[in-house]
Amino acid sequence: MATFRVALTFYHSKIYKNGYCEYRLLTLTIMSVALTILTGMFLLTNEEAQGMALDSTKNTYKILKGLWEKITESECSNEYPDLIEFKEAGIYIGSKNSGEFTIWDTGSYEIISGNSIKISTANDAEIKYTFFVDKGNLTFTDGNNCKFVYEKR
Amino acid sequence: MSERIKEAPLRNVTFGTATESLLPEAIEHTMIESEGPEVLVKPEIIERRVVRPFPTWLRFLRSGCYLIRYSPARIVSTIGMHYDGTLRVERQETNTTASGDLYLHQIVTWPNAFPILEPNPATGIPIFARNRYRYYIRVTQILEWYSLGNSFTLGFELYYFDMSSKNWTNTGTFSALMKWTPSPPGYPSSSDYLTGEVKNSSGTLVGYLTMGWVSSYLRRATLEIDRVSASEWPLNNGAGIGWREIYDKVGWDVNIICSDSDVSEPSGESWSDAELHAAMLSRRNSSNLDTDWPYHVLCVRRIDSTPRGIMYDTSGTDSNNVPREGAGISSHWIIPDTPQWGLVRNMRFGTATAPYFRTAVHEIGHAHLLYHNTGDLGIMNTTDVIAASASPPVLFPNNIQWSHHPDDQKRLRHLPDIWVRPGGIPWGASYGTAPISPDEMAHPEGIELDVYPEIKSVPLGAPVRVNFKLVNTTADEPLPVPSNLSMKSGHISGKVYDPSGTERTFSTIIRCIEEEAIRMLEGGKSIANSVTLLRGGQGTLFPTSGYYKVVIDVMWDYKGVNYKVTGETNLMITPLEDQKHARAATKILSTPDALLTLVFGGDHLKEGIEAIHEGIDNPVLRPHYTLIEAKRIGNRFGTRKADLKRAADLLDKDTVMSPPEAKRIAKMFSEQKTKQTTKEKGNKISSILKDKLKAVENDEDTKKLLDSL
């Protein structure tokens, strides 16, 4: 891309010889160079950002890994397990103290971004939830706006 | 027919509308024309008559499905109302498990109304309309082996099913002396027909029962598969195991129909759950869930809500409000190119024959109202977990177990009809709400269970501590018993009978999933533990004052056989002494978290802790709750440190504790000895605990523990 812009600039400098055109050429040249530099910076930043996101996601997997106990008591959160363990390889196991049905019984989980996670459910649907972790508490919000909190055991 | 299908021999698979049976036995098809609303279904495979080499005075109960009829005594002579149903008899070596279902057969007298036809035994396993479902028969006693006479006693409980609330009610215990008699015409085996009078637990005649063998299978169903043209049929695992082989193991006679292969895509290659459901409704051949058990699988390229498969017919997307009729699987998901996926990594799912077929079987398992099961690598575990469990040299999918987990096998055989059949109980019901016949348990010869309460009189509102001891009564023969008898081990369960005879059950609320360890108990020796009872599956275990019976069961598996030993004891729950006692007892008994606080401890169950504190603040209940609180605060939780000083202050000579509790508390103090506890306090605790343990045989480790305090 940078090479093309330089070649284009050189091509134009060959064609136009009067002062006005030379002024325009100079502007074009400066803009091309600036664009090249900016493109390079964007690509570099994006790679860095991707790298950082990857690191952040890996970190989130580490933070999630382990056993969590639900501390919210609400009707809307009743279908979610009382205990959930996030394991290696994106697998989780959930259970209710009473042995009742829970929508998160076992399956896979995948962190989509810093606050979005996809969890497979009891009938194998994969559903996205928002989540955040703060001081040993893991808070989920489901599609019905039900918010419920787990505490690390 | 595709080349792939030709490679693997198929049994009993139908393409289009013609049915072929490729079973090895000689078979005979019987076509029955339908008449009226109670349509009997399509041809049923019937067995040859079996000639038994045994003497006629030696009778055994043939395994399989029996057509049964129950006629209540009080109305049999009048309007002729009765119940039709099936009884399923399963025999595994020396263990027999049986269960059944009853459907109301109302005699129709209304003008122009169609009569309900009697089931035809010649057509095999009958199917009854869902709205006629009434009872589950939980068989508790049946002929295990051979009978020297012409009869045996059938013992059972009848559970009434309320269609609107979806609740089950145990209507009582019954027994019937079943006698072999020649069958009426039409039964495949005239020598496998029995009749008997049914009596209740008081010995009063309440009805008449007949049962006639109709099939070696326990249940039957139809599975129709439709697909878009680009998707494959999920018919087998590529190594000789197909639908028939999977379902033969659980006694289901499943007719597979590969129907439409030209289902059109409504909105591109990926389908929503609603689109899957709509396609099932429009494409399936059979929709009469009252004359058949029809399940449906739709194979499409992709599914919006999942990569591999889904049982979509739950609540929201169930546009016809009939649950669990169908499932969808996707053929064009690309399996990730990671080592976890073993031999099928980076393949298109439809071309990965084994996991593709497994997903279809798994999703139909959900249609039977089976939930995920991580107990083994069987059908109801998830593909992710199975793939992650593979370890070289065995790579996924070669580690797939091509059968259901034994618990799921039992469910498929013996859960109520209304649970497993399509259009029955909705998705989300818990296994614990449904009755199921018990497995026959062998009695471990030489092992006895002694059960005795820690104290014989317990005030209302206090937890009841019951000790038990597994004893090897032989002189010198080591016998296998569980090495861990705590509640968490899962070996312990039981029942509590209140003064009115009402039964309430209890079992563990958490289970340590570890390899079950069996130890050899030497002759004359014993191992002991205790349970602290407060709440069970039905709520408070001791809701009123009076005389109670507590039954404890210890169950374990040894070399594939289930063993059970039972012991029981009695105790008195004393009445409320005053208003304050009443207030504290009410608070505790109405707070479910009180039990969780007792089990888990911790600071997070505020209501449970509050209830326990009410107990501690009441002079009558205090001695029964101080140990629970001492255990809670004597352990750290989160940022709170263990407070041994306060824990020690709670304990005194009046504190009620079982010997195992005393050992655990001693261990807690010993392990967390800090400057918090003075020598004086240590001596006090040691004295209290020694006093509690003096009547119990203690091992060397316990003696050292007490000395260390």
- B408, B433, B458 - which closes a domain: B433
Is A69 close to B604, i.e. CB distance below 8 A? yes
The answer to whether position B9 is within a domain reads: no
Give a yes or no: residue B178 inside a domain: yes
Between these two residues, B598 and B126, which has the higher pLDDT value?
A: B126
Which residues numbered 483-542 in B keep a CB inside 8 Å of some CB on A?
A: 509-510
Domain limits at A30? 2-61
Classify residue A57 as exposed, middle or buried by CB count within 10 Å of its CB (0-12, 13-18, 19+).
Answer: middle
Separation of alpha carbons B341 and B215, rounded Å: 41
More confident residue, B486 or B467: B467
Could you give the 3-state DSSP secondary structure of residue A93? strand
ipTM for this model: 0.70
Q: Tell which of A123, A127, A129, A150 to mutate to test the B interface (max B CBs under 10 Å).
A: A123
| Residues A85 and A35 grouped into a single domain | no
Answer yes or no: do B382 and A108 touch at CB < 8 A.
yes
Q: Are residues A131 and A76 in the same domain?
A: yes
Q: Which of A79, A91, A97 has the CB atom closest to B384's CB atom?
A: A91
Grade residue B573 by pLDDT with cuts at 50, 70 and 90.
very high
CA distance B100 to B54: 28
Cβ count near A62 (within 10 Å): 9
B50 CB contacts (<8 Å, ≥6 apart)?
A: B189
Using DSSP's 3-state secondary structure scheme, residue A38 falls into helix
- What is the spatial distance between Cα A96 and Cα A79, in angstroms, rounded to a whole number? 9
Mean pLDDT across B592-607: 80
Give yes or no: residues A106 and A39 share one domain. no
Lowest mean pLDDT of A79-88, A121-130, B90-99, B332-341, name the range: B90-99
Q: What is the mean pLDDT of residues B422-439?
A: 92
Q: Which two tokens stand for residue B207?
A: 């009805």
Contacts of A74 in chain B (CB under 8 A): none
- B343 belongs to a structural domain: yes
Minimal Cα distance from B602: which residue of A? Answer: A153
Shared-domain flag, residues A57 and A6: yes
Q: Which residues of B touch A107 (CB under 8 A)?
A: 372, 382, 384-385
Give mean pLDDT, residues A42-65.
65
Cβ of residue A99 closer than 8 Å to a chain B Cβ: yes
Please report which confidence band the pLDDT of residue B116 belongs to, taking 50, 70 and 90 as the band edges.
confident
Residue B508 to residue A99: CA distance in whole angstroms: 10
Give the pLDDT mean for A64-80: 94
Same domain, B609 and B511: no
Residues in contact with A109: Cβ distance below 8 Å, sequence separation at least 6, in sequence order: A64, A86, A90, A91, A92, A117, A118, A119, A120
Please check whether residue B640 touches A, CB under 8 A: no
Chain A, 111 to 140: residues with Cβ < 8 Å from chain B are 120, 122-127, 136
Give chain A positions within 8 Å (CB) of B429. Answer: 101
Based on the fold, state whether residues B120 and B203 are members of the same structural domain: yes
Tell me which of A80-94, B195-209, B575-589, B602-616 is least confident.
Answer: B602-616
pLDDT at B39 over 70: no
Of the ranges B63-77, B189-203, B315-329, B596-610, which is most confident?
A: B189-203
Q: Band of the pLDDT at B506, cuts 50, 70, 90?
A: confident
Confidence of residue B294 (pLDDT cuts 50, 70, 90): very high
Greatest CA separation found in chain B?
A: 92
Task: List all residues 6 or more positions away from B256 whose beta carbon is below 8 Å from its beta carbon.
Answer: B12, B13, B14, B223, B225, B235, B242, B243, B244
- CA–CA distance, B367 with B412 (Å, rounded to integer): 11
Q: Which of B32-41, B202-211, B595-604 has the lowest mean pLDDT?
A: B32-41
Is the pLDDT at B516 greater than 70? The verdict is: no
Is B431 touching A (CB cutoff 8 A)? yes
Distance CA B101, CA B135 (A): 6
Specify whether A20 is located in the same domain as A91.
Answer: no
CB atoms B382 and A101 under 8 Å: no
Number of domain units in chain A: 2
Q: Shortest Cα distance from A2 to chain B (angstroms)? A: 35
Q: To the nearest whole number, what is the mean pLDDT of chain B?
A: 85
In angstroms, the separation between the Cα of residue A123 and the nearest Cα of chain B is 6
User: Domain of B496: which CATH number?
Assistant: 2.60.40.10
Say whether both B266 and B363 belong to one domain: yes
Per residue in B251-288, pLDDT (tens digit) is: 999 999 999 999 999 999 999 999 999 999 999 998 89
pLDDT tens for B486-501 read: 877 778 888 898 887 7
What lies within 8 Å, CB to CB, of B685 at 6+ separation is B648, B651, B665, B666, B669, B677, B709
Q: Is B62 part of any domain?
A: yes
The CATH number of whichever domain residue B93 belongs to comes to 2.40.128.120
Backbone angles phi, psi at A90, to 5 degrees: 65, 35
pLDDT bracket for residue A41 (50, 70, 90)? low
**Cα-to-chain-centroid distance, residue B17:** 37
Q: In chain B, what percentage of residues exceed pLDDT 90? A: 60
- At residue A2, the pLDDT reads 52
**Higher-confidence residue: A105 or B114?**
A105
Work out the pLDDT band at B517, boundaries 50, 70, 90: confident
Task: With beta carbons less than 8 A apart as the criterion, state whether B418 and B433 touch.
Answer: no
Q: How far does the CA of residue A51 sit from the closest CA of chain B (Å)?
A: 20
Domain boundary among A21, A36, A61: A61
Are B305 and A100 a contacting pair at CB < 8 A? Answer: no
**Higher pLDDT pick, B336 / B495:** B336
Buried b (16+ CB within 10 A) or exposed e, A127-149: eebbbeeeeeebbbebeeebebb
Q: Which residues pair with residue B91 across a beta bridge?
A: B96
Report pLDDT digits (tens) over B619-641. Answer: 999 999 999 999 898 888 878 88
B475 and B413 together in one domain? no
In terms of domains, do B244 and B380 share one?
Answer: yes
- Based on the domain organization, do B370 and B335 belong to the same domain? yes
Are B700 and B640 members of one domain? Answer: yes
**Residue B507: half-sphere exposure toward Cβ, Cα within 13 Å:** 14
Domain boundary among B549, B574, B599: B574
Residue B247 sits in the same domain as residue B276 = yes
For residues B629 and B662, the answer to whether their CB atoms sit within 8 Å is no
pLDDT tops 90 at residue B148: no
Regarding whether A86 and A18 lie in a shared domain, the answer is no
- Domain assignment present for B2: no
* CB spacing of B384 vs A100 below 8 angstroms: no
Residue A125 and residue B310: Cβ atoms within 8 Å?
yes
- Comparing B26-30, B406-410, B436-440, B468-472, the range with the smallest average pLDDT is B26-30
Residue B204 and residue B68 share a domain? yes
Report yes or no: B310 at the A interface, CB cutoff 8 Å.
Answer: yes
- Which amino acid is present at B607? E
A18 to chain B, closest Cα gap in Å: 59
Query: Helix B622-633 crosses helix B593-600 at what angle (to 10 degrees)?
Result: 50
Q: Does A117 lie in the same domain as A52?
A: no
Q: Minimum mean pLDDT among A16-30, A101-115, B47-61: which range?
A: B47-61
Helix (H, G, I), strand (E, B) or coil at B8: coil
Q: Decide: B178 and B193 in contact? Cβ < 8 Å.
A: no
The distance of A16 to chain B (nearest Cα, Å) reads 54
**What integer is the mean pLDDT of B142-167?**
89
B120 CB within 8 Å of a chain A CB: no
Structural domain for B696, as ranges? 579-708
Q: Which residues of B457-469 are buried (b: 16+ CB within 10 A; e: fewer)?
A: ebbbbbbbbbbbb
d(CA B486, CA B668): 17
Which three-class secondary structure string do you get for B315-333? HHHCCCCCCCCEEEEECCC
How far is the C-alpha of B157 from the C-alpha of B439, rounded, in Å? Answer: 14
Q: How far is CA B646 from CA B595, B626, B704, in A?
A: 22, 11, 24
> Residues near B514 by Cβ (< 8 Å), separated by ≥ 6?
none
Once rounded to an integer, what is the mean pLDDT over residues B432-439?
89
- Which pair of structure tokens corresponds to residue B540? 């408070």
- pLDDT above 60 for B50: no
Q: Is residue B543 over pLDDT 90?
A: yes
Candidates A88, A97, A124; nearest CB to B309: A124
Please judge whether B311 and A124 are an interchain contact, meaning their C-beta atoms are less than 8 angstroms apart. yes
Domain count within chain B: 4
Q: Please choose, from the candidates B379, B368, B374, the residue with its C-alpha nearest in 3D space to the C-alpha of residue B411.
A: B368
Q: Which of B433, B456, B475 is the last residue of a domain?
A: B433
Q: Is the peptide bond before B575 cis (omega within 30 degrees of 0)?
A: no
Residue B10 covered by a domain? no
- pLDDT of B475 reads 87
- In terms of Cβ atoms closer than 10 Å to its own Cβ (0-12, 13-18, 19+), residue B255 is buried
pLDDT in tens, B653-696: 899 999 888 888 888 887 765 555 567 767 777 787 777 776 55
Q: Does A67 touch chain B (CB under 8 A)?
A: no
CATH of the domain at B331: 3.40.390.10
For the cut 60, the answer to whether the pLDDT of residue A43 exceeds it is no
* pLDDT: which is higher, B147 or B42: B147
Domain co-membership, B61 together with B142: yes
B332 and B475 in a single domain? The answer is: no
Asked whether B541 and B506 are in contact (CB, 8 A), the reply is yes
- Helix (H/G/I), strand (E/B), else coil: B388: helix
Amino acid (one-letter) located at B440 = E
Cis peptide bond N-terminal to B426, omega within 30: no
Mean pLDDT of A126-140: 94
More confident: B167 or A27: B167
- Tens of pLDDT, residues A13-26: 444 455 555 667 77
Of A43, A61, A79, the domain-final residue: A61
The helix (H) or strand (E) run that includes residue B411 is: helix B406-414
pLDDT of residue B559: 67
- Cα gap B507→B595, rounded to integer Å: 12
In this structure, the answer to whether residues A53 and A73 fall within a common structural domain is no
In a domain, B3, yes or no: no
Minimal CA separation from A58 to chain B, in Å = 17
Same domain, B211 and B250: no
